[in-house]
Structure 1
Amino acid sequence: MKKTNAMRILDRHNVAYIEAPYSYDPEQLGVGTIAVALGLPVGQVYKTLVATGDKTGVLVAVIPGDKELDFKLLSQYSGNKKIGLVQLKDLQSLTGYIRGGCSPVGMKKNYPVWFDESALSWDRIYINAGQRGMLIGVAPKEVIRITQAGVGEIC
């Protein structure tokens, strides 16, 4: 499989990762389905959510697949009063990625990124590689470093 932009960025930063390709149904892009297909715990597969805040504009939250984003907690960490997810129709124009293929690495712009603190409890987490059908397993500290992400309890 061809390298994605996220993979090239990790390579440029000398960050080791494992490619984890999977087959998918465009109607079943949920993290749980993907985790089962790869034989991984759902909590080790992290989903990338793109939101907008009233103060920061676009921001990115990376949370475990078995959790829901707590907008109030993310607001506190990010300095926003109100946060909402971006509309699906705006996702690609803002990030360069489509639903089911959104990575916190390699977006069109360097948006503020927040990882749920649970990521640090794993030696490796799996994030989207920037296209449907491919995750990358990476040390959370490394992906947090290269995305210059904040870390907090956001679930």
Structure 2
Amino acid sequence: MIKTNVMRILDKMKVEYGAITYDKKDDKIDGVSVAKKIGRDEKYVYKTLVTMGSSKTIYVILIPVREEIDFKKAGKATNEKKIEMLDLIDLQKYTGYVRGGCSPIGMKKQYKTLIDKNAVNIEKVIVSGGKIGYQVEINVVSLRGIVDGQFVDLIK
């Protein structure tokens, strides 16, 4: 198996994780499709959303793939008047990742990261491995430490 940059970072930090691959040939790379492909319950598979506040600050938000972000809750958690998704055209510029392969681990910069509060009830979550076709399963407390994340209410 190819090691992604995310996996190399986790190896260097001596963080235990499980590497998971999936077939990307059908171009179904959304979180729900990925959860089905890897045979995991959607509540354990988290998507990485990159957002921008009205102050032009970037925020990374992790929520289960089936859920929808509540922008009002996210704005309150970040003390922003308004928060919205980063334009897809800017995703790689700010994170180093492309849509479908955006991991909260190993972005170009460490952005404030918010993790949906329901993750505290889960031992391990699955997030992008930093490349389309790759996921990593990681202890949620370890993930929070790596990304310096906060658990907050983020979903509708």
User: Structure 1 length as normaliser, TM-score?
Assistant: 0.95
What count of residue pairs does the alignment treat as equivalent?
Answer: 155
- Provide the C-alpha distance between the structure 1 equivalents of 2:27 and 2:2, rounded to a whole number of angstroms: 24
Question: 1:56, CA displacement in angstroms?
Answer: 5.8
1:132 aligns with 2:151: no
Identify the residue that residue 111 of structure 2 maps to in structure 1.
Answer: 111
Q: Give 4+ residue runs of structure 1 displaced > 3 Å after superposition.
A: none
Q: Please provide the CA RMSD for this pair.
A: 1.2
Question: 1:10, CA displacement in angstroms?
Answer: 1.4
Equivalent pair of 1:56/1:80 in contact (CA under 8 Å) = no
Question: 1:55, CA displacement in angstroms?
Answer: 3.0
Question: 1:78, CA displacement in angstroms?
Answer: 1.0
SS in 2 for 1:52: strand
Structure-to-structure mapping, 1:139-154, within 5 angstroms: 139-154=139-154
SS in 2 for 1:29: coil
- Provide the C-alpha distance between the structure 2 equivalents of 1:144 and 1:26, rounded to a whole number of angstroms: 32
Identity %: 35
1:55 aligns with 2:55: yes
Equivalent pair of 1:100/1:132 in contact (CA under 8 Å) = yes
- Provide the C-alpha distance between the structure 1 equivalents of 2:146 and 2:56, rounded to a whole number of angstroms: 20
Unaligned runs of 5+ in 2: none
User: Structure 2 length as normaliser, TM-score?
Assistant: 0.95
